[in-house]
């Protein structure tokens, strides 16, 4: 993406069709599995967590290519169109406000990954009618999440766990765009948020795409996602997959993936986990879902990991995001604490670290022949 | 006009070559006829089946050609006249038995009718059965016109009984499928009881056991039979010369090439310069007859299709007789006068004869070319593809989706049947099917591919096979795959009939070739008995098919999927639409992103049309079979199908 920022006109002015998508993204191992190219047409589909081509399309230009978060785009232009210039930072994108928050309801926190902030915000937005449908990653079978559309706030309240394998959320958004929902909210990873931002700003064809129905994007902080096939193979050697109830990554000094099963907690060294990371994630330079209305991630508090686990950090990026957060404060469904000193700076440093790694990777990748084919 | 019971002796009727062969067999008093369908041979058994009658004529479609030959041989052993019939590949299948049969000899007259397909008009090879006659040391005769097709077939039974061995009668597509006038002969009164006399010693050809051993003695006896046939061939009326006493060029030919040769000579107005020796008995060649005719001239052109079979034999005889007949100049295959691949036609023969005699073949008049161009402009361009409503199209669509989703480069090993179209024309099979060989070979090749995992092969391996092909030759290959633990997904494309050749019966159906009720042999139960998981699906249920396949592709070992849906041309479906299908113009997206003409650009059922002016898809109501499958692939839901009212 560093490369994209330097020269947005490279590779055909950001326009192309399925052929270019295959060459530059799918076969280049850059597909994130976000689902942006799926459910627009009968040619692309998601199988497990991979994007596949079912049949050849010969159109020179297609939404599949334009909306893909890994095809060239002028990101500065996207920011100008979607965010206020004064809010924009080089490290974290637009920052209108920075908060440490959590669900006031302890029950929500228990059912959620950390502070339950995302669950609370989505539930609130549905309850208050700000959105009438929310697209989220639901629990699937054998560690493979699937994207679902929820219209009932009470159902959304029960779906707060982090997923470590990507689900084709944008594909589900594409699908329900054609349905009855009028105001759609999406809980999105950074790549999914970028795909939605591209849809909002880069109309391709006269065919209706329903992007105007997008009313809220709640971004998720994301370090990487794992390849389902590789993760399943790794965990199958350690436990029964249907015993896994959740997973988490404690701060980096632990160097561990914690896998919670019905019986015990299995600690897997990140040395074992790293080879399972999707190839595409190594080239991602967005840790905090910069193209959302507000982004939520786990908190890092001076009291340590156990205390941090019940809190979230929130970056508010748009007025719509701010209004939602303030409504949550007003309704008393979120509670807040002061961010500790240097918290935002640490976050900026971490985000910058990911950008540098991605930039280094993208240079290295030019000479690298190490490819695993389609997004794996 | 077709052959029927009402036609009387002496009547002149228009018959197809295959009907003429069937009539010849009837006039010979054939009692048992067995074959396996295969173009261009199928009409012989079909015609005979109409004349079947308990105790008089038994006719069957056997599971394969080897079994057909064995069934016919049994009748011969029991003293009855019998016939087995097959296309050229069938002789390969039957050849193992044929080798032994030729050694053991026969009793009741038995003929093997083979219909070859030079040019592979409806085959995936242009293999030749003539060479088998030489290889197996049995006599070969070849009719050159329709009357001869009948007469030679009838005579072949006599010959078989005279030499006590099986006789090969060979036809080709242009003989089997063209029609001509035939004067009918007498149908004999059928008599004789079937009894296998087997209480004598091995050396007794009348009452001993039937066996090809002791091999040396039997082999010697077999060659004596062949010499006897050769002696009879010397006097055969089916060998005839026409032309000048001393022609500049002697054309030696047989079969349909006789007609091409006559036309070529006439075209060049070379009747005074070239003579034609038309041979009906082509193996072994009668040496005295050849000597007589080779003496006529110095230049000899052998006209035959594909390989130089006749040419080689003529040259051998000419070399042996060179002292008496002098040195000849030969033209044919070896000097390149005629091609060694594809069919011949009068133009090719005329060009060869013209080059030898220094005559320019008459040019095609310019106006003829113009006319041809004008006429062909009106010919609609058609894909070679599956019929509208064909379940194979749906099956391959499901397979394509499953393989693309699976994303490991999986492929299909094809087999012989309509579904072979998927390999021959990749667009018909959506680029999934990648090998095509003999019947049953899909399963066998897959069985081999399915053991290459330890060599680093990660591609999923699929094999397809039709229901008739399953019984014919796939079962041993499948059993092999099961026993060897090959990793394959074996798909039976069960369309309830031998559809490609005209819906002949097979062991999976409840009726036999004579229209009698017959027990069905269940494919699923057979596969189940091999101890492998069997799933039965409907190819018109796309999502279910795809999901089943994706699940099976992940599993090791042999998995069987039976995709069952009757052929669109099957008697129970033909002309009946299950759904009325139409395109909703307001929903059709046409060429825009979001569809890009999936239905007419990729799916390409002939029942779907693209209207260039309106830029919308349409249904061709005349040929749409009403299967309704396309409604499920339209991303916009613009193809609407509603259940047709029951008549």
Give chain A positions within 8 Å (CB) of B598: 41-43, 55
User: What pLDDT does residue A15 have?
Assistant: 81
B228 & B253 share domain = no
Dihedral of the CA atoms B323, B327, B332, B333 (nearest 10)?
70
Q: Give the one of A45, A63, A205 whose C-beta lies nearest to B405's C-beta.
A: A45
Handedness of CA B385, B388, B394, B395 (dihedral sign): negative
Q: Is the pLDDT higher at A11 or at B390?
A: B390
Cα nearest neighbour of A46 on chain B: B405
Both B408 and B545 in one domain: the answer is: yes
Q: Which residues of B touch A54 (CB under 8 A)?
A: 400-401, 404-405
User: How far is Cα A126 from Cα B503, in angstroms, rounded to an integer?
Assistant: 61
> What pLDDT is attached to residue A375?
33
**Residue A127 · residue A113 · CB < 8 Å:** no
**Predicted local confidence at residue B1, as pLDDT:** 54
Residues B47 and B154 in one domain: yes
| Confidence (pLDDT) at B365 | 87
Q: Classify residue B365 by burial, with Cβ atoms within 10 Å: 0-12, 13-18, 19+.
A: exposed
- The answer to whether residue A178 neighbours chain B at the CB level (below 8 Å) is no
Q: Exposure string (b/e) for B373-398, b if CB count within 10 Å is 16 or more?
A: eeeeeeeeeeeebbbbbbbbbbbbbb
Q: Which two tokens stand for residue A175?
A: 């699908």
Indicate the residue of A42, A50, A59 with minimum beta-carbon distance to B407: A50
CATH number of A228-276: 3.10.450.750
The answer on B406 and B353 residing in a single domain is no
Using 50, 70 and 90 to split pLDDT, how confident is the model at A366?
Answer: very low
Q: What is the pLDDT of residue A157?
A: 82
- Phi, psi at A32, each rounded to 5°: -90, -10
Query: Given a cut of 60, is residue A372 above it in pLDDT?
Result: no
> Are residues A4 and A78 in contact, defined by beta-carbon separation less than 8 angstroms?
no
**Mean pLDDT per 10-residue run, chain B (647 residues)?**
79 96 98 97 97 96 98 98 97 98 98 97 94 98 97 98 98 97 95 94 94 96 98 98 98 97 97 98 98 97 98 98 96 97 97 97 88 87 89 98 97 96 94 97 98 97 97 97 98 92 91 95 97 97 97 97 95 87 94 93 95 95 95 94 83
Please tell me which of the candidates B405, B430, B595 has its beta carbon nearest to residue A41.
B595
Residue B196 and residue B79 in one domain? yes
Across A7-79, the runs of DSSP E, i.e. the strands, are: 44-47, 50-53
- Count Cβ atoms below 10 Å from residue A266 Cβ, excluding itself: 17
Provide the pLDDT confidence category of residue A365 given band limits of 50, 70 and 90: low
Task: Find the CATH number of the domain harbouring B57.
Answer: 3.40.50.970
Contact by Cβ (8 Å): A296, A118: yes
Q: How many domains does chain B have?
A: 4
Residues B465 and B552 placed together within one structural domain of the fold: yes
Query: How far is C-alpha B58 from the geometric centre of its chain's CA atoms?
Result: 22
Size of chain B, expressed as the number of residues it contains: 647
The verdict on a CB contact (< 8 Å) between B405 and A54 is yes
pLDDT at A2 over 50: no
Query: What is the extent of the structural domain holding B246?
Result: 240-357
* Same domain, residue pair B81 and B211: yes
Say which residues have a Cβ less than 8 Å from residue B533's Cβ, sequence separation at least 6: B555, B559, B560
Does B317 share its domain with B446?
A: no
pLDDT of residue A328: 97
Prediction pTM value: 0.92
**Neighbour count for residue A107 (Cβ, 10 Å):** 11
Of B540, B521, B542, B523, residue with least CA distance to B532: B523
Does B594 sit within 8 Å of A41, measured CB to CB? yes
Chain B interface with A: residues with Cβ < 8 Å: 400-401, 404-407, 430, 550, 589, 591-596, 598, 601-602, 633, 635
Cβ of residue A374 closer than 8 Å to a chain B Cβ: yes
pLDDT of A373 reads: 33
Q: What is the pLDDT of residue A205?
A: 60
Q: Which of B534, B564, B594 is the last residue of a domain?
A: B564
How does the average pLDDT of chain A come out, rounded? 88
A58 touches chain B (CB under 8 A): yes
CATH of A86-226+279-354, picked from 3.40.640, 1.20.1740, 3.40.720, 3.30.1450, is 3.40.640
Q: What is residue A138's predicted lDDT score, i.e. its pLDDT?
A: 84
pLDDT digits (tens, 9 = 90+) for A210-244: 889 999 999 999 999 999 999 999 999 998 888 88
Assess whether B179 and B260 both reside in one domain.
no
Last residue of a domain, one of B507, B539, B564: B564
Q: How far is CA B176 from the centre of its chain?
A: 11
B386 assigned to some structural domain: no
- CA separation, residue B496 to residues B117, B163, B565, B571 (Å): 26, 42, 7, 11
Do the domain assignments include residue B378? no
How is B448-492 classified by DSSP, letter by letter?
HHTT-GGGT--S-EEEEEEHHHIIIIIHHHHHHHHHTT--EEEEE
The whole-number pLDDT of residue A144 equals: 86
Model confidence at A9, pLDDT cuts 50, 70, 90, reads very low
CA distance B321 to A350: 98
SS3 sequence, B194-207? CCCCCCCCCCCCCC
Q: Do B404 and A53 touch (CB under 8 A)?
A: yes
- Write the CB contacts of B261 (distance below 8 Å, at least 6 apart in sequence): B251, B253, B276, B278, B303, B349, B353
Instruction: Nearest chain A residue to B400 by CA: give it.
Output: A54
Ranges of each domain in chain A: 2-74, 86-226+279-354, 228-276
Per the listing, tokens 């009894």 go with: B195
């Amino acid at each position: 993406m560093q490369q994209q920022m330097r020269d947005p006109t490279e590779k055909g002015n950001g326009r192309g069709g399925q052929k270019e998508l295959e060459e530059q993204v799918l076969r280049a191992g850059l597909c994130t599995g976000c689902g942006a190219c799926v459910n627009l047409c009968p040619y692309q589909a998601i199988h497990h967590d991979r994007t596949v081509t079912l049949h050849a399309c010969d159109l020179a230009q297609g939404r599949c290519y334009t909306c893909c978060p890994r095809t060239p785009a002028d990101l500065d232009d996207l920011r100008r169109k979607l965010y206020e210039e004064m809010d924009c930072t080089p490290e974290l994108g637009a920052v209108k406000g920075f908060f440490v928050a959590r669900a006031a309801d302890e029950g929500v926190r228990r059912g959620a990954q950390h502070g339950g902030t995302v669950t609370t915000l989505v539930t609130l937005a549905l309850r208050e009618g700000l959105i009438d449908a929310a697209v989220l990653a639901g629990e699937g079978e054998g560690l493979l999440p699937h994207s679902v559309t929820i219209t009932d706030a009470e159902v959304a309240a029960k779906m707060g766990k982090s997923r470590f394998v990507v689900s084709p959320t944008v594909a589900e958004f594409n699908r329900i765009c054609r349905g009855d929902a009028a105001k759609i909210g999406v809980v999105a990873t950074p790549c999914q948020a970028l795909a939605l931002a591209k849809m909002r700003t880069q109309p391709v064809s006269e065919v209706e795409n329903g992007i105007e129905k997008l009313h809220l994007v709640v971004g998720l902080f994301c370090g990487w996602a794992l390849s389902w096939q590789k993760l399943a193979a790794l965990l199958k050697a350690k436990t029964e997959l249907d015993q896994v109830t959740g997973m988490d990554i404690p701060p980096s000094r632990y160097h561990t993936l914690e896998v919670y099963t019905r019986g015990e907690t299995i600690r897997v060294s990140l040395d074992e986990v790293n080879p399972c990371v999707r190839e595409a994630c190594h080239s991602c330079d967005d840790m905090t879902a910069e193209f959302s209305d507000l982004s939520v991630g786990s908190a890092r508090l001076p009291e340590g990991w156990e205390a941090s686990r019940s809190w979230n950090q929130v970056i508010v990026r748009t007025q719509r995001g701010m209004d939602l957060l303030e409504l949550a404060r007003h309704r008393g469904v979120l509670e807040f604490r002061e961010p500790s000193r240097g918290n935002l700076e640490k976050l900026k440093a971490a985000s910058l670290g990911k950008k540098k790694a991605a930039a280094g990777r993208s240079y290295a990748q030019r000479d690298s022949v190490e490819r695993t084919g389609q997004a794996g | 006009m077709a052959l029927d019971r009402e036609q009387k002796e002496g009547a002149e009727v228009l018959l197809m070559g295959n009907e003429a062969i069937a009539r010849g067999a009837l006039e010979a008093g054939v009692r048992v006829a067995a074959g396996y369908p295969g173009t261009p041979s199928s009409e012989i058994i079909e015609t005979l089946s109409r004349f079947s009658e308990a105790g008089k004529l038994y006719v069957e479609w056997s599971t394969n050609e080897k079994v057909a030959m064995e069934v016919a041989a049994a009748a011969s052993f029991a003293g009855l006249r019998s016939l087995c019939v097959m296309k050229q590949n069938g002789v390969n299948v039957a050849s193992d038995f044929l080798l032994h049969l030729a050694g053991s000899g026969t009793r009741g007259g038995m003929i093997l009718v083979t219909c070859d397909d030079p040019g592979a008009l409806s085959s995936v090879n242009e293999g030749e059965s003539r060479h088998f006659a030489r290889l197996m040391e049995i006599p070969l005769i070849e009719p050159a016109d329709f009357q001869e097709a009948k007469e030679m077939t009838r005579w072949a039974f006599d010959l078989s009984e005279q030499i006590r061995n099986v006789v090969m009668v060979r036809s080709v597509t242009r003989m089997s499928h063209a029609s001509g006038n035939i004067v009918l002969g007498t149908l004999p009164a059928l008599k004789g009881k079937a009894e296998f006399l087997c209480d004598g010693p091995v050396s007794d050809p009348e009452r001993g056991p039937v066996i090809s051993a002791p091999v040396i003695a039997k082999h010697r006896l077999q060659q004596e039979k062949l010499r006897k046939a050769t002696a009879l061939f010397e006097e055969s009326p089916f060998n005839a010369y026409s032309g000048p006493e001393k022609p500049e060029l002697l054309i030696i030919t047989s079969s349909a090439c006789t007609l091409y040769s006559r036309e070529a000579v006439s075209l060049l107005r070379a009747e005074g310069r070239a003579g034609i020796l038309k041979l009906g008995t082509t193996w072994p060649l009668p040496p005295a007859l050849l000597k007589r005719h080779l003496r006529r001239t110095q230049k000899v052109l052998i006209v035959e299709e594909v390989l130089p079979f006749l040419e080689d034999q003529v040259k051998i005889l000419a070399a042996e007789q060179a002292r008496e007949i002098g040195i000849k100049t030969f033209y044919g295959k070896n000097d390149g006068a005629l091609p060694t691949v594809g069919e011949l036609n009068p133009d090719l023969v005329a060009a060869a004869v013209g080059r030898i005699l220094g005559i320019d073949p008459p040019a095609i008049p310019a106006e003829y070319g113009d006319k041809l161009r004008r006429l062909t402009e009106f010919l609609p361009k058609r894909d070679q593809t599956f019929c509208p409503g064909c379940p194979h199209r749906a099956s391959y669509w499901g397979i394509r989706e499953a393989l693309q989703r699976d994303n490991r480069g999986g492929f299909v090993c094809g087999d012989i049947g309509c579904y072979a179209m998927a390999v021959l024309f990749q667009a018909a099979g959506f680029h999934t099917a990648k090998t095509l060989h003999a019947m049953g070979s899909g399963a066998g090749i897959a069985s081999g591919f399915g053991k290459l995992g330890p060599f680093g092969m990660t591609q999923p391996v699929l094999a397809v096979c039709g229901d008739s092909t399953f019984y014919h030759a796939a079962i041993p290959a499948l059993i092999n795959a099961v026993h060897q633990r090959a990793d394959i997904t074996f798909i039976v494309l069960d369309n309830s009939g031998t559809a490609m050749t005209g819906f002949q019966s097979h062991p999976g159906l409840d009726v036999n070739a004579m229209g009698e009720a017959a027990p069905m042999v269940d494919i699923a139960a057979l596969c189940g008995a091999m101890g492998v998981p069997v799933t039965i699906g409907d190819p018109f249920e796309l999502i279910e098919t795809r999901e089943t396949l994706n699940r099976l592709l992940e599993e090791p070992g042999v998995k069987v999927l039976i995709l069952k849906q009757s052929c669109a041309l099957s008697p129970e479906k033909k002309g009946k639409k299950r759904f009325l299908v139409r395109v909703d113009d307001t929903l059709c997206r046409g060429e825009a992103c979001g569809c890009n003409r999936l239905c007419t650009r990729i799916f390409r059922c002939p029942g779907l049309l693209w209207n260039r002016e309106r830029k919308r898809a349409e249904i061709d109501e005349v040929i749409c079979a009403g299967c309704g499958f396309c409604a499920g692939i339209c991303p916009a839901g613009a193809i609407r199908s509603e259940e047709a009212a029951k008549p």
